[in-house]
Every structure is written in C-alpha cells, then in structure tokens.
Structure 1
Amino acid sequence: MSKIVFLQHLSEKQKQQIEAAAPHDEIVAIPVKEATEQDLADAEIIVGWSRKFQDFILSPDCAVKWVQAWSAGVDKMPLTELEQKQVLLTSANGVHTIPISEQIFAYMLAFSRNLHQAIRNQSRARWDESGRFGELHGKTIAIVGAGNIGIGTARLARAFGMKTVGVRRSGQPLDEFDTMYSMEQLDEALGVADVVVNILPLTEQTRGLFDQGRFAAMKPEALFINVGRGTTVRTDDLVAALQNGTIAGAGLDVFDPEPLPEDHPLWSMEQVMITPHIAGSNEHYTDRVLDIFLTNLKAYQQGEKLPVNLVDYSSGY
C-alpha cells in the first residue's frame, strides 16, 4: 500500500475518483496551509507543491518517489535537487489550453474594438467615440511557444480568419499553423506579425528573451501579449517600447516583478491591459489536473513510464 498526499482541497466526487483508481492506497487530501511535515513523511506520491515543504521533501526523511505538480510551469521548483533524489516529476501542462487561449482573444478583441478605452471611459461617465476600430480578420498572429496553448490559440485564430505563424524550438510544422519558424528565426516571425503572443516557459534560454531588440523587430502597430512567464521579458525594455511607440500596446497577465508594484509605470499606460496572473484560472482546473494524474497513476501502478507531462530535467520542462 502506498500513501498519496494531495496538498489541496478535493470534493467528495473527486476523492471517490481517486479511491476507485487506487483502492489499496491511503489517500490524504489536506490544504497546504493545514498540512505538516508529518503528513508528508511517508508519502510515496505528492500532488501539489509548496516551498513550505521544499527542504523536507528533498531530505532523506521524505520517501517521495513522484511529484505531480499542480501548475503547468515547474521553473520555480528545485529541479536539480529533485533529479538528484531521482523523483519523477510531472506537470499540469495542458490544463490551461482553453482558458488561456480565450484570455488571449479577450485581449485581442478588446484592443481591436477599443473596449479597453470604453471601459475606462465608462468609469468616468465619459461619452467618447474616438479611437481606432479594427478587426482581427486578415491579421497575422505569431505564437511564440507552439505547445498545447499555442495550438489551441491558433485554432481560434483561424476561426477568426487570421493567418497563423508559430515559433517552436524544433521549427517543425504543425497543421494549425500556416508557417512555422524555429527559435533561431524568432525575429523574422516577429516582423510579420500584427499580434505577438508569448507562451514560452522559463528556461535559461528564454530568460529575458523579449528585450529591446526583439521589440524593435516588431511592427510599430503590433500588439504584444504575454501569458507565459514574466521573466521571459525584460520589463524595462517593454516599458520603453510602449513609451516610444516601438509597439502599439500590450496585454499582460504575467510580470517581472510579480505582483506588479503599485507605482509601476505599466499601470498608468492607456495602451496596456493588465490582469493579475489569472489567465489559467477556471472552475474546471482541479478536474483537469486529476485527469492527468489518474492517467499517470495507472502507468505508475504498472511500473511503466509516466505518459503525460513527464518533466525532462535536462530541458527544464
């Protein structure tokens, strides 16, 4: 019998799903704020992560063999130490495809139809018909990070009659994209786009990738959307690009630093839309993570390689 610890609240229905899949295991579901090291001491599988328990999980006193992260990104986890301890790590990559792709289009539609200004005017009780009113049809979207979210976004873009450009490490084509570029061709992709969407994970290769030069490679009328990681963007360079008119606007859900300080210049920019790192939030999140976990659990029980989102420590995701 193994012990599986979930560091979050689960509904009775969700607990029953897990118990049905692991009838001989001990299942513990306890919110991280209430959990103690004793709860984790003899856990073979931990679902979720908290820095509160990081040192303990990495210590010899913790018997964990597999961690299922609750987030899609694992860049904030101690990957080197987990690898040294020979802990299997799986991410929740894929759970965000629908909400984040829809959030990307919320930004795009708002900017296209000048809704971001209309909302500001409404709060001031101001009737103002001025502004630029465009349409997405016929525009080109460059999606930097053509994974699950990127593919989902490309499908929506095609439904709006947009041209789809993708950027991925391999540069290999995907059906959802009209054109695919490698990361070495990033500047070329940026130069043809009306909208640039950053969905990259944080790695040593992507840290600070969007800098002054990258914004200069974009069209002056282009919109930049970041739903990936804040630290893949040099924030000061983004601010300068917006102030100087190097790019036309930005829809931002992630930041460096985060939370964004109250006195940061991005808050007061009329051509910027800000959301507080909520693009992936939705009411189906837990169920979708459980779908990933239960698929992997079946393989784990049979001694097979975990089939969904097994992190490659050498690449960092």
Structure 2
Amino acid sequence: MPKIVAIHDLTSEQQQKIKDIAPDYELLVTKAKELTPSIVQDAEIMIGWSRFVQEDVLSADSKLKWIQAWSAGVDKMPLKELEEKGIQLTNASGVHSVPITEHIFAMILAFTRNLHLAIRQQSNSKWDTSGTFTELAGKTIVIVGVGQIGSHTARVAQAFGMRTVGVRHSGKSDPYVEAMYKVDQLDEALAKGDYIVNILPLTDDTRGLFNEARFSAMKDSAFFVNVGRGQTVVTNDMIQALQAGSLAGAGLDVFEEEPLPSDHPLWSMDNVIMTPHMAGDTDRYGERAVDIFLENLQNYVSGKPLSRNVIDYSKSY
C-alpha cells in the first residue's frame, strides 16, 4: 500500500479527510526526527519538509513523487536535486495572506501614528506627544512581489483610501493594483511610494535586490516594510539609509541573519520596528495548509495534474 507521511500535526478530522480522498493509501503522522530511513524512502507523498529527511528523500531507493511544503518559501529546500528526481513540489502559498497583510498594516499604522515611539516611551513612563502624525488616506503603497499576499495587501490598502502600485516579474495586472510595473521598472515604482512593502521570495535574481541604489530611489519620507526574505536586502545599505535620513523608517520581520545578534545596530534604532519572523503565524495555519493539500490530493489520486501552488523549479517559486 502506498504511503503518505505527514511530519506536521494533523487533527483527527484532517486525517479522516485525507483517508476519505485516498483510501488506498496508508497515512502516517509523526515527527521528522522519529522517521527511519525506510519509512522516508517508502513514502510516495510527504506533507512537510525537514533537513532530517533530505538524505533519504534524495536516495536512490526513495519512492517519493510529491512533497507538500508546509511553508510558502522553498528556498531552503534542495530544489535542483528534487527536480532531477522528478519530485513534484507544492507550497503553502495563500495560507499567509490574511496574517501577513495584517502584520504589514500593523507596522505601517504604527509608523503613521507614532505608536512605535509611544510604546518605547510607555516603557520609560514618559509622556511625550511630539512627532509627526499623518494618515494613510491619499498615500501610495508600493508592493514589490504581487502574489496572493500582495493582492490581499493591495485590497486592504484601497480600503484605507491608499493608491496601490505593484511590481511583479510578469507585469500582469491585478484587480486591486492601480499601476503595475515589471521588475526592470522597479526604481520608477519605488520613487512613487510612501510605503514600500517587500514580499519577494528569495531567488538568484532577488538576492540583495534592495541595495544602496534601491534605497536611493525611494523618497526620503518613505517607510520600508520587509516580510519577504531577509536576504533580498543588503542590511548595511538599509542601515546607512536609515541613519542618513534618506529612509524614514523600516518595519522588519525577516533578516539576513536569523536570529538577529543581540549587538546588532538595528535593535537600538528608534525608526525601526522589528518582529522575529512571525508575520505569517496564525492559529489557522494548519487548517489552511491542509485545505491546499486536500485539493491537490483529490487531483493526484484521480491522475490529474496538481492544481494549486505547484513550484516552477526554473523560477524557484
């Protein structure tokens, strides 16, 4: 009997849904560290990914045909080797649209209303009403990397009365983005933004994309929010822009080095808000990830192509 191995917790209801769709498969739910080489090599489908299973997945004896990643990002997976073995890969893109969008606006609104400074003053029992206060209405948000998260972010931005500008590789339009640019027009798009939101995946093309030239293209009054990948930003260039006043502030959930060292200069900068790579966290994560898997599983057992979130190995996303 072919096997489905899940290395993330599944509720009894979720397990039953998998069994109902694939009654001819054996389902094993366990922890990655508890898997034996024989179990991994015998699996046809795997839900989740861990470095602990990599060697066995890539072995000559592996029967694996499909991996459902538990995250949207797949840059830490051995993509070249998986492609060579003909293993299909799907990710959890779409799971994060609501929590990451809300996280983005938590940071943007904090800057707009000076909440980041008020919280620091509260810790010091200090009453201080100084600062510049503004509104989102009429401001322009530039979303770099318009996928499902970016589209949802644009929709929420429009509800605040903001103008929405997007950047995506294809340049394809989006119903919630008023002006869409291609990546080779990035600097032109950045120049329009009061708030720049980076949601790009990490690829050879995006690594270090936000460097001195990109920050120079932004308005001095612009705020930069990064919920994509830390390695898409040259951190020292961003710090220099923040210190020089050529960038008003930065809301950062991801970093080149994680966890961020305790002596890093970003910790002490008043115009920086930081969270520890938690923008996508939500108590509804597993529910949404399993829904994606179930839809693909229905196609898989029917002999149809996987329909959602199939990774294009040539693009690394």
For Structure 1 versus Structure 2, the TM-score category normalised by the shorter chain is over 0.9
Give the root-mean-square deviation of aligned CA atoms: 0.9
Name the CA distance, whole Å, in 2 between partners of 1:198 and 1:261.
22
SS in 1 for 2:63: coil
1:138 aligns with 2:154: no
Between stretches 206-215 and 129-138, larger displacement belongs to 129-138
Give the alignment of 1:93-242 within 5 angstroms. 93-242=93-242
Between stretches 167-176 and 150-159, larger displacement belongs to 167-176
Name the CA distance, whole Å, in 2 between partners of 1:35 and 1:133.
54
Name the CA distance, whole Å, in 2 between partners of 1:8 and 1:312.
24
SS in 1 for 2:310: coil
Name the CA distance, whole Å, in 2 between partners of 1:34 and 1:273.
38
Name the CA distance, whole Å, in 2 between partners of 1:37 and 1:124.
55
SS in 1 for 2:28: strand
Deviations 1:14-51 (A, max 9, x none): 21221222222100111223333233131000110011
- Which 4+ stretches in 1 moved above 6 angstroms? none
- Give the deviation of 1:52 after TM superposition: 1.4
Matched AA of 2:115:
L
SS in 2 for 1:237: helix
SS in 2 for 1:151: helix
Unaligned segments of structure 1, at least 5 residues: none
Unaligned segments of structure 2, at least 5 residues: none
Deviations 1:36-92 (A, max 9, x none): 323313100011001111111101122111111111011111010001111011111
Structure 2 partner of 1:301: 301
Between stretches 31-40 and 159-168, larger displacement belongs to 31-40
- Give the deviation of 1:233 after TM superposition: 0.5
How many residue pairs were aligned? Answer: 317
1:276 aligns with 2:297: no
Structure 2 partner of 1:45: 45
Deviations 1:159-181 (A, max 9, x none): 00000000011112221111111
TM-score of the superposed pair, with normalisation by structure 2: 0.98
Name the CA distance, whole Å, in 1 between partners of 2:197 and 2:237.
17
